[in-house]
Amino acid sequence: MRKLVTYRTVSKIEPISGADKIELAFVDGWQCVVKKGEFSQSDVALYFEIDSWLSASDPRFSFLEKQFRKNAVGELGARLRTIKLRGALSQGLLLPVANFPELADLPCGADLAAALGVTKWEPPMPACLAGNAKGSFPGFIPKTDQERIQNVPHYLDDAGEYEVTVKLDGSSMTVFHNQGETGVCSRNLELHETEGNTFWKVAHRNDIPARLSVYGKNIAVQGELIGEGIQGNPEKILGHDFYVFDVFDIDRQTYLSPTERHEVCGLLGLKHVPILHYKATLPASVDHALAIAEGQSLNPNAKREGLVFKRHDGQRSFKAISNSYLMAEQ
């Protein structure tokens, strides 16, 4: 599960050319613009990751007032984004732990974001994706959420072979078959089958529920729903389509390896997200991973959101999101 607020150790401080009042602080694979002299190397600080939603009701975030706007449920606050200050890339927010004394009494491992009222920013749900919730996302299937390489830079020490795929910019969709029943889910909910719901329409158009029933195994097919009305439709496709990026074995409670996933997609006749490399070694550094995250998407005229790396034993994965994509986000 993604942690929006964490304790981090400052690994280094670097000056910003021509800047007298700000400098760069580095924590794991992230870099943030901070006040000059606010942090020193080895300091423990509180890091707020990009896409954190900081409420305007907390006066400690009042310095972000110029960025305040309402989120999907009408709350006023600021969304942390990737920005540039004096030419330096800044991702997230780094603040002194002393600013948040209420955290001192929390037990080890407590959810710092919940304690501070920080939530994940979610874009407004397109009308075409709205549906009637049948229930929460099924507990027997993991939600689709890859860790960013900046949070796990030690992963790059792995000498294993990885599949590298293009991350499409759409909406997460899951179709499952379990104990004779099929279901369709958005990122956070299982959905009733209703007329006009895009998730179910696309699932039926690709014959996924019926094919899963015939296949007979208890699995969940997870992928990206892309097209008109979704994230600005960067791939410029007509209508909507579904591209698989994972297959989860419900009985074994594990993801299939890339080889097994491709076999299942072939048997079920499902489209797969674009594969950049079927077997590759990992980039040497976070900077290298972010550099190769730049490039073409499914549509060669569109810049991709980034790349996803999955080890061939199915036991480790992460994503590298293009900084130019993040800079262009609204």
For 135-168, write each residue's pLDDT tens digit.
899 999 999 889 999 999 999 999 999 999 999 9
Tell me phi and psi for residue 207, to 5 degrees. Answer: 60, 30
Report the 10 Å Cβ neighbour count for 226: 26
Predicted pLDDT at 126: 72
Pairwise CA distance, residues 52 & 314, whole Å:
29
Joined tokens for residue 327: 């800079």
pLDDT in tens, 5-28: 999 999 999 999 999 999 999 999
pLDDT of residue 51: 95
Going from the C-alpha of 166 to that of each of 98, 105, 224, 310, the distances in angstroms are 41, 43, 11, 12
pLDDT of 129 > 80? The answer is: no
Phi-psi map region of 304: left, alpha, beta (phi>0 left; psi -120 to 50 alpha)? beta
Average of per-residue pLDDT values in the chain = 94
pLDDT tier for residue 1 given thresholds of 50, 70 and 90:
low
Predicted pLDDT of residue 316: 92
Q: Assess whether pLDDT exceeds 80 at residue 188.
A: yes
Q: How much is the average pLDDT of 301-309?
A: 96
| Domain limits, CATH 3.30.470.30, in the chain | 127-328
Q: What percent of the chain has pLDDT over 70?
A: 99
- Cα separation of 54 and 277, whole Å? 38
Structure tokens at 50: 């990009």
Residue 318: strand, helix, or coil: strand
Answer for the pair 61, 3: CB distance below 8 angstroms, yes or no.
no
pLDDT value of residue 42:
97
**Mean pLDDT calculated for residue range 77-102:** 96
First-to-last C-alpha distance (Å) of the chain: 24
Range 24-36 average pLDDT: 97
C-beta separation of 290 from 30 below 8 A: no
What pLDDT score was predicted for residue 133?
Answer: 83
Mean pLDDT of all residues in 310-318: 92
Going by pLDDT thresholds of 50, 70 and 90, the confidence category of residue 261 is very high
Region 229-253: mean pLDDT is 95
What is the mean predicted confidence (pLDDT) over 254-262? 95
For 189-228, the DSSP string reads EEE---TT-HHHHHHHHTTHHHHHHHH-S-EEEEEEEEET
The CATH T-level fold of domain 127-328 is: D-amino Acid Aminotransferase; Chain A, domain 1 (3.30.470)
308: phi > 0 → left, psi -120 to 50 → alpha, else beta; which? beta
Q: What is the DSSP letter of 152?
A: -
Query: What pLDDT, on a 0 to 100 scale, did the predictor assign at position 330?
Result: 62
Q: How confident is the model at residue 71 (pLDDT cuts 50, 70, 90)?
A: confident
What is the location of CATH 2.40.50 in the chain?
5-120
pLDDT digits (tens, 9 = 90+) for 194-219: 888 999 999 999 999 999 999 999 99
Domain 5-120: give its CATH architecture. Beta Barrel (2.40)
